[in-house]
Amino acid sequence: RKEVEQDPGPFNVPEGATVAFNCTYSNSASQSFFWYRQDCRKEPKLLMSVYSSGNEDGRFTAQLNRASQYISLLIRDSKLSDSATYLCVVNGGSYIPTFGRGTSLIVHP
Amino acid sequence: EAQVTQNPRYLITVTGKKLTVTCSQNMNHEYMSWYRQDPGLGLRQIYYSMNVEVTDKGDVPEGYKVSRKEKRNFPLILESPSPNQTSLYFCASSPWDRASGNTIYFGEGSWLTVV
C-alpha cells in the first residue's frame, strides 16, 4: 500500500461549484500535513498546512482525521484559476515528507 | 528574496555525458532534497540531505549522485545519463523546524532531456 494516496481525478467542475479532495496516509505516526498546489509543469507551492482542529483560508478548508488517517481539502466557489494539481504531503515521524501523486482539478466556465 | 535556485533550467544532452544540476538555497535550511517528476508517477524523491555531509537515498537513487559540502548547495550529478533519466527535476529545501511546520520550498525545476 502506498504511503500517501490520492484520487488522481481529474475532477471536472463548473465555476462556482464546491469540490472536495481526500488524501489517505498509512503511517499513523505522521506529524504534519500539508496541501500543495502545482500548476502545469511548474514547481509545487504551499497552499495550506492542515491542523488537527481544521483550518480555513478564504475559500479553502482543510481537515485532518487522525482516527481514519486522512486529510481533506474543500474548495468553495471554484474559480477558473483554481485549475491545477493538488498534492497532499505528509511528514512521518522522521520528518521525511511523503508526497501523494496529486489530484487534478479542472474548473470550466 | 528567499528562494531555491537550480541550474540549468533546460538541458538537452547525450547519453553518457556527465552532467551536474546545481541547487542553491539562501534560507539557511538544513534539509534539501531532489525529486523527479514524470507523467502519472508524481514526485519521486531521488536523494535527500538532513545537513552538511549527511545524505541519504530516496525512492529512486539509481544513476544519480549528490553531495552536500556546504549548507546552501546540493548538486545533483548524473555520471552517465541515460534516456530514462529524461524528466523534470525539482530541488527543494526545508527548515526542518517543527515550529515552522517544515514547509518545503521548491526550485523552479530543470527540464532534462537525454538523447
- Counting every residue, how long is chain B? 115
The model's pLDDT over B6-54, given as tens digits with 9 standing for 90+, comes to 999 999 999 999 999 999 999 999 999 999 999 888 899 999 999 999 9
- The shortest CB-CB distance from A102 to any of B42, B48, B96 is to B42
- The shortest CB-CB distance from B90 to any of A43, A95, A102 is to A43
C-alpha cell at B73: 548547495
The model's pLDDT over A36-67, given as tens digits with 9 standing for 90+, comes to 999 998 999 999 999 888 899 999 999 999 99
Which of B103, B112, B113 to mutate: most A Cβ within 10 Å?
Answer: B103
| Contact criterion met (CB < 8 Å) for A34 and B103 | yes
| Contact criterion met (CB < 8 Å) for B94 and A97 | yes
* Greater model confidence, A8 or B108: B108
Contact B13, B73 (CB under 8 A): no
Evaluated on CA atoms B4, B5, B10, B16, the torsion sign reads negative
| Contact criterion met (CB < 8 Å) for B104 and A101 | no
Work out the average pLDDT over A19-38: 92
> What is the Cα A65 distance to its own chain's centre?
13
What's the confidence (pLDDT) of residue A37? Answer: 97
Work out the average pLDDT over B67-93: 97
- Counting every residue, how long is chain A? 109
